[in-house]
Structure 1
């Protein structure tokens, strides 16, 4: 008997079955717990996706809330935004989520020129396996927020470089055509620039030659792009934008900042004015109000008609107040600068490149850009790529040595994110519109 008792007590052959039976309940419970929680998390992810879509959609540029916010005089709740967000949120629901009776809290508010949405959700997800342990449901919740900066009130001061270098052909084909047209001129070497002579030597007026032979100049494309920009601005605004247009002068004898259109909210007026033809033009006159600067003769005033320093200084003086964009009286100020980036002026002592006599040819001196930016004025720069003119001795000696730094300086002149380079084969009008829209739109998801 003792031997049998000892054998029975020492026998372990049935322990695995016993242990398995004892552990089965917690193992099944743990697996069930994982399944239930995984299912709850999956539904929570779906709800977050719906909340994100609702938060962003409620304050997007084309939303009802954005339209309503532009006409609100005071800050506060935007009711149509709450309704729109709710519709978007529940429109994302799967049948299972729709059956959960999801509780939501939605706020859409306007503060200054910012539109903010917040979508909070809460739901109770029934469990399956966790009921074994007395847990009938799992609570899930979350919050999504989005913010959209409605188009601020902005004043755009469009500064168009219309100096002789902008008379270059608009495309490589136009440059070649102009060079070929002038190659037979015995009194002057071939030239890619349609220099606009208005003096006694009108017979050498390459501007007239370009017009006669349908050569498109850079200034022509910029003029067309400026007109198109006014249409883009008008389509994107609820009377929040004003525009003014300036050039470097109608003629070289009176070079300096020249107002083409004064600051106005009538964007049609701006578009019409820049594309307006000159009334009763005389031989040597420009064809358009916004056109290439005329010069009395080749080499007039040592060709020093492009003073970025002077133009930016005078424009800075014209902008007397810089606002934050919350109202028309508190408008932000934007200088929209279109140029090929090469200055040419009398600047004997502070020129950033070697001078010839007192003539300074240099990429833009960003010191004068910084003076505007220090006041809170934003600068949007559209750099129309300065074309290498390798057949031109003047270019090879004076411009080619700093050619690579021209876009670098133009980019440094611009406010962060507001620089765009457009080559002759690109669309200047498309580039101007893209840069403009980049300035006026700034949506972002904040949570």
Structure 2
């Protein structure tokens, strides 16, 4: 039998050898910083999510301060949308759980007009907010404050003048759609180019006085309809009285003023309805028409969008072919470039001299060009008078147009769509976030 001292000694050694209690104690001590770290991560995630929500609210408030409604209010009364933006921010921020807004600054500044830019409003929304701390004390205090800034800018409603220079020469009598071209060919012994009745081949050429094959639409019809739609759009897009002026001009060998520049758009609409093809072949002098417009009508530089200094736009719609055989009127841009078309050996037609557009662009005028392109036809009028230089037509019109303002259309629907796009591009002055 062992003595009791020995038994006590053995029990003591077993007690000291058992480390399970030490592990538990160590884990308990380590658990504290782990828990704090986890709560810190959660706190940080909550900060990121809250800041994203508040930044989105600040963005919306800044945009409201320069919205169309706010801009119109400012133009009419001089009152900015500052109070509305503040109210929007506070209302929306109150719905973010646990957030307390400690600082909110909203400013709306009027930026004076400058050369090439209309007057504008800039709205800035900045805030500081507190959120509850998941980690008390020193560690948590570093993660309970968030802040952000949002800025939005929009041009004030801009005044603009639009000069519509429309080709109404006989070649605009081609069918507006492929089906129209086919119908014209069937009615005119295969002719689809500047021939509009079964009598077009006789010496009096009555095709110009009878310009319609039943059931067809001509390009001049599509152009007139598209112009009517553009004028209607301008009427509906005005946010201030007399914001847009429109002048309407047609050309063949000379320019006809269908309606002088006016802010009474209803009168322009009525005048547009009367546009028809000429009853005789007057030729087509595109370059000289552009030059006339620059010298006689659009004589001043494009402005900065104010009422006294509006932006200036010229919309040229043409098939791009110069025709100088009949009733030729000498002008500054009437020399046919090689290659050119001919009729019975006589130089007859060619493409635009794009230098005619330089004077307008030098004045800061935006020149928008819609090319109602020629479709290749088997008719001899096309093969002799257009085909030799067909590949030069579009490059010349592109060179005439201001950057990003060249459009192309092949049928009635495309003409309408392109003219709407031209107008929309000219009016891209909507609010946008700047940072």
Give the structure-2-normalised TM-score.
0.81
1:13-412 aligned within 5 A:
20-61=27-68, 63=69, 65-71=70-76, 78-79=79-80, 81-93=81-93, 95-97=95-97, 99-101=99-101, 103-111=103-111, 112=113, 113-131=119-137, 133=139, 135=141, 138-183=144-189, 190-194=191-195, 204-211=205-212, 213-237=214-238, 238=240, 239-249=242-252, 255-275=253-273, 288=274, 290-295=275-280, 305-318=283-296, 319-345=298-324, 351=337, 353-354=339-340, 356=342, 359=347, 361-389=349-377, 391-400=378-387, 402-404=389-391, 406-412=393-399
- Cα distance in structure 2, aligned partners of 1:404 and 1:432: 23
Q: State whether residues 176 and 192 of structure 1, in contact with CA within 8 Å, keep that contact through their aligned partners in structure 2.
A: no
How far does residue 140 in structure 1 lie from its aligned partner after superposition? 0.9
How far does residue 267 in structure 1 lie from its aligned partner after superposition? 0.8
- Give deviations 1:70-93, integer Å, cap 9, x for gaps: 336xxxx743x1233234434544
Q: State whether residues 154 and 325 of structure 1, in contact with CA within 8 Å, keep that contact through their aligned partners in structure 2.
A: no
- Cα distance in structure 2, aligned partners of 1:445 and 1:321: 33
Task: Provide the aligned length of Structure 1 versus Structure 2.
Answer: 407
Q: State whether residues 47 and 143 of structure 2, in contact with CA within 8 Å, keep that contact through their aligned partners in structure 1.
A: no
- Cα distance in structure 1, aligned partners of 2:234 and 2:63: 24
How far does residue 97 in structure 1 lie from its aligned partner after superposition? 4.5
How far does residue 60 in structure 1 lie from its aligned partner after superposition? 2.8
How far does residue 350 in structure 1 lie from its aligned partner after superposition? 6.1
How far does residue 39 in structure 1 lie from its aligned partner after superposition? 0.3
How far does residue 368 in structure 1 lie from its aligned partner after superposition? 2.1
- Cα distance in structure 2, aligned partners of 1:14 and 1:401: 101
Q: 1:132 to 1:99 in 2, by over 3 A?
A: closer
Q: 1:56 to 1:69 in 2, by over 3 A?
A: same
- Cα distance in structure 2, aligned partners of 1:343 and 1:147: 45
Q: 1:52 to 1:134 in 2, by over 3 A?
A: closer
How far does residue 153 in structure 1 lie from its aligned partner after superposition? 1.5
Unaligned runs of 5+ in 2: 1-14, 114-118, 326-332
Q: 1:11 to 1:360 in 2, by over 3 A?
A: farther
How far does residue 48 in structure 1 lie from its aligned partner after superposition? 1.0
How far does residue 291 in structure 1 lie from its aligned partner after superposition? 1.8
- Cα distance in structure 2, aligned partners of 1:308 and 1:105: 56
3-state SS of 1:27 partner:
helix
- Cα distance in structure 1, aligned partners of 2:183 and 2:141: 83
Q: 1:392 to 1:16 in 2, by over 3 A?
A: farther
Q: State whether residues 194 and 207 of structure 1, in contact with CA within 8 Å, keep that contact through their aligned partners in structure 2.
A: yes
- Give deviations 1:367-406, integer Å, cap 9, x for gaps: 22233212211012222232222x2134235534554554
Q: State whether residues 69 and 110 of structure 1, in contact with CA within 8 Å, keep that contact through their aligned partners in structure 2.
A: no
How far does residue 274 in structure 1 lie from its aligned partner after superposition? 1.6
- Cα distance in structure 2, aligned partners of 1:352 and 1:331: 39
3-state SS of 1:295 partner:
coil
Task: Tell me which residue corresponds to 1:284.
Answer: none
- Cα distance in structure 1, aligned partners of 2:288 and 2:192: 28
Higher radius of gyration, 1 or 2: 2
How far does residue 235 in structure 1 lie from its aligned partner after superposition? 1.7
How far does residue 134 in structure 1 lie from its aligned partner after superposition? 5.7
- Give deviations 1:206-239, integer Å, cap 9, x for gaps: 2444436242111112112222222211221221
